[in-house]
Amino acid sequence: MDIHEILEHLPHRYPFLLVDRVVEVVPGERIHAYKNVTINEPFFIGHFPHHPVMPGVLIMEALAQAAGILSFKTLEEKPSPDNVFYFAGIDEARFKRPVMPGDRLDLFVTIERQMRGIWKYTAEAKVDGQLAASAKLMCAKRDL
């Protein structure tokens, strides 16, 4: 999926869109996407000016956005003004290496289960094949 199709499957927009491309998506199972991390990211101005590091919460958000794309593809739906996927939980979050400008942050998300609008995922973010972060994520689809 290129950026145009990603924009059809996520409600997020700059500066909060954190998925640049989807390499592979298997609806109902898994997704591999990535974020190109550049020095132009607005958060690097203050985190940290002398040693820019991508905030861990934004790595988790990037994983959640990849999970959102996977969920919409699984449901064969697109975002609408009538509903939203909320980030409902993060368990077992671990950060193993810093993510810096110039890195390509590969996002791997697998659906563990889905029941009554609650989705659970296993997620990993990697840079150059090295684990940068991992977590169990939970999202909830809700009508507005």
pLDDT at 83: 86
Domains and CATH numbers, the chain: 3-143 (3.10.129.10)
pLDDT surpassing 90 at residue 85: no
pLDDT at 76: 95
Instruction: List Cα–Cα distances, 22 to 30, 40, 44, 107, 118, in angstroms.
Output: 11, 21, 24, 9, 23
pLDDT at 84: 86
For residue 91, how many C-alpha atoms fall within 13 Å in the half-sphere facing its CB?
7
Q: What is the pLDDT of residues 50-81, one digit of tens each?
A: 999 999 999 999 999 999 999 999 999 999 98
Q: Catalytic residue positions?
A: 47
